[in-house]
Amino acid sequence: MSISEYIMMGSLGVTLILSVIAIILGIMANAKYVQLFRKYDYFMRGRDAETLEDYFVELQSHVENLEDEDEKNKELIRILNRSVRASYQKFGLVKYNAFGRVGGNMSFALALLDFTNTGFIINSVHSNEGCFLYIKDVDAGTTEVELGAEEKLALEQALGYRERDNH
């Protein structure tokens, strides 16, 4: 065999290998095309271009409505947050006997505070002569007047420094 025959057989072999590779790539591309066509067909089934456009316009309208509702909800949440911060949400309650062992625990000190620890303390002192009610302002967790032991305890409960007694 001559060199030209070897070259011709070599080029024929390379051509054959390239043809096989091209056929394999063609089969793979066709499989991808069939898979993509099935997805497209499923998506478009029962719809023409006009109804598909209507569908997207309607979908956009829904998205815009949801965005408007989202803004309204955010504003309502801001309003609720301000209301909650301004409401009395912390409390401390101490029941006690103001006059020793006579009469039971009829007196109490109640501390009510908002988010900023501002509020008041009510001290109700019960005696045989009547009931006396005292109120003291609390600003940022402190008072300008001196507190009694029960009032201090109620304020500390409201501030979370002490546990409440459950009796």
Same domain, 65 and 124: no
Environment class of 31 (CB within 10 Å of its CB; exposed 0-12, middle 13-18, buried 19+): exposed
Q: Residue 154 CB: number of other CB atoms within 10 A?
A: 28
The domain boundary residue, chosen from 32, 58, 86 = 86
Write down the pLDDT at residue 30. Answer: 96
Parallel, antiparallel, or unpaired: how do β-strands 119-127 and 130-138 relate? antiparallel
Could you read off the pLDDT of 51-83 as tens digits, one per residue? 777 888 899 999 999 999 999 999 999 999 988
Same domain, 95 and 113: yes
| Residue 43 pLDDT level (bands cut at 50, 70, 90) | confident
* Six token digits for residue 22: 């091209």
Same domain, 112 and 155: yes
Could you read off the pLDDT of 10-31 as tens digits, one per residue? 778 888 899 999 999 999 999 9
pTM as predicted: 0.55
Residue (of 114, 115, 122) closest to 93 by Cα position: 122
* Structural domain span for residue 116: 90-159
The domain boundary residue, chosen from 86, 113, 138 = 86
Same domain, 122 and 143: yes
Same domain, 110 and 150: yes
Number of independent structural domains in the chain: 2
Same domain, 82 and 66: yes
